[in-house]
Amino acid sequence: MFALQWTEEAQESYRRLAAKAKQTLESRARRGSRKSSKEAGLFKQVHKTLHLLRNNPRHPGLRTHEYRSLEHPFDPQGKVFEAYVQHRTPGAYRVFWCYGPGEGVIAILAITPHP
Percent of the chain at pLDDT > 70 equals 99
Q: Which amino acid is at 50?
A: L
Which of 47, 54, 55, 37 shows the shortest CA–CA distance to 85? 47
**Length of the chain counted residue by residue:** 115
In a domain, 93, yes or no: yes
The answer to whether position 46 is within a domain reads no
Residue 77 lies in a domain: yes
Could you tell me if residue 32 is inside a domain?
no
* Residue 71 domain flag: yes
Q: pTM, whole model, 2 decimals? A: 0.90
Task: Give pLDDT, residue 31.
Answer: 77
42 Cβ contact partners less than 8 Å away, ≥ 6 residues apart = 17, 21, 85, 86, 93
| In-domain check, residue 110 | yes
Q: Which domain holds residue 99?
A: 61-115
Q: Tally the domains of the chain.
A: 1
Residue 52 · residue 62 · CB < 8 Å: yes
In this structure, which long-range contacts are made by residues 50-53, counting pairs with CB atoms below 8 Å and at least 24 apart in sequence? 50/4, 50/95, 50/108, 52/83, 53/2, 53/4, 53/83, 53/95, 53/97, 53/106
Structural domain includes residue 43: no
The confidence band for 30, taking pLDDT boundaries of 50, 70 and 90, is confident
Residue 14 lies in a domain: no
Q: What is the pLDDT of residue 97?
A: 97
pLDDT range class, residue 82, cuts 50, 70, 90: very high
The enclosing H or E element of 89 equals: none
